[in-house]
Amino acid sequence: MISHEVEWLRWMPGLSILLRYETAWLGHDIVAGLVLATMLVPVGIAYAVASGLPGICGLYATIVPLLIYAVFGPSRILVLGPDSALAAVILGVVLPLSGGDPQRAVALGGMMALVSGTVLILAGLARLGFVTELLSKPIRYGYMNGIALAVLISQLPKLFGFSVESTGPLRDLWAIGGAILAGRTNWVALAIGLGTLATILLLRGSRRVPGILVAVVGATVLVGLFDLAERHNVSILGSLPQGLPGFAIPWIGVGDIVPVLIGGCAVAMVSFADTSVLSRAYAARTRTTVDPNQEMAGLGAANLATGFFQGFPISSSSSRTPVAEAAGARTQLTGIVGALAIALLLLVAPDLLRNLPTSALAAVVIASAIGLFEVADLKRIYQIQRWEFWLSVACFVGVAVFGAIPGIGLAIVIAIIEFLWDGWRPYSAVLGRPAGVEGYHDVTRYPEARRIPGLVLFRWDAPLFFANAELFCERVLAAVAESPTPVRCVVVAAAPVTSVDVTAADALTELDDALLAQGIELRFAELKDPVKDKLRRFGLFDRFGETRFFPTIDAAVSRYHGAT
């Protein structure tokens, strides 16, 4: 019975922590939750508007995920909610399909959350938490820089006080420039937006002063005090609906299914990539461990729940989590307190933010987008490995030119190509024994290395599989042809060979036949036992015989010397 309860609680780590809650944590969590709520409100509204949805949806997508993650999430202080990194992806689906209809936009955003939540939960149950590791750091930098640029461009019209029809980041930039030259700028709205942005950036490094809260409250008070909405046509948020979100199934049309599925999967990938990195960072800082599969399931549960309560896809926040930590958060109760504070705002004071200017919300999103850009580490990558730098640039250009979703698709394709390339065209070497150096080494690195007459020691630095099997055979035969003495034996130094597939096994058979026709025997040294097991299943072990496999290169060389 006890083991059954432990297994049940394993999928609800937040509840497990709350069941062991210490009273000494309570004051810290309550204070941190209230401080956090002051930041969650303006940011949630801003990211909802940036995603093409009504501002209230940002609060719904903040309340529900915080409550759900408090139960299913493994990280003690991770803060979930709307995120600037997802805004461009969501906007890319919602804007063209909604046709300006807010209800349709809400349904599309909700269904994207359901798709991403389902994908994340299934992936977590299947223990696929490792998949984001396939995206290298330069590629992640590329698509995040591209998304940051797309988000920034999408907010410029609101900052300048006008609107343009979105057709893609670069074309939008052209349209924005045309609107500015045509004199459509609302200078009062722009002044408010720039002032808000400057305040946020100036106070960004302060742990004591919440810059976003100060900037947004100041802008709201200014608009209300001088009636700027009426006198200067400054766009404002307006009254929020009173009450909490109700359960609703986000119905969409048949024609919306494919783009919503693609967008939902893209959101799942981006949100988990960011969440896993942030979760591991805070786990290391607090000296705890976090299961990436449980993190994926917890994030999925939060997305799934918010999809049924008029929200949209969410992720962890690299800007709000430090606020919770600095305010003294100890457990997920901080998120619960923050969610309840926002719910109280909607029940008691829905008009409190009525005069919040749209240009100030744009400034909040732009400030977050600026924080997404990675430049310093890309300089380092450029200096040490330029081809990876250009991979990052290619991903960045893909997002900037084609939009967030096609750009992320391009990033995935490039990641797969990058992953396969090292195995597709791996390094190989003929080995010799340099004087004064232990072991056998690449003769191109050690030209003076002594090579054994009649023996070719050949090292292959990759798994053997369908994409490189033919190249492996070609390089072995080339090493034989280039040997300074007639060859009687080839020994493959196979320590780096971690796997063999059917295509490679057949290629080994053909290589063995080709070498035997020249009177040359093919042997293997340091082949790993799991790879040997595969060769047994393929029938190659019986073909070659036990005598052709050696535990070390020295053993293979000694056998050759003994035979000759």
- Sheet arrangement for strand 521-525: 441-442, 428-432, 455-460, 489-493, 521-525, 549-550
Q: Rounded distance, CA 464 to CA 84, Å?
A: 42
Q: Write the CB contacts of 324 (distance below 8 Å, at least 6 apart in sequence).
A: 32, 33, 35, 36, 77, 79, 334, 335, 338
pLDDT at 10: 67
Residue type, 32: A
pTM passes above 0.75: no
| Token pair 């204070």 in the structure block, residue | 31
pLDDT at 473: 96
Looking at domain 428-562, its CATH class is alpha beta
pLDDT at 295: 84
Contact 156, 176 (CB under 8 A): yes
pLDDT at 131: 66
Alpha helices by DSSP H, listed for 182-238, are 187-202, 211-225, 228-231
SS3 of 492, please? strand
* Stretches in the chain below the pLDDT threshold 50: 1-5
Domain ranges of the chain: 23-243+255-419, 428-562
pLDDT at 294: 84
Q: Rounded distance, CA 70 to CA 302, Å?
A: 9
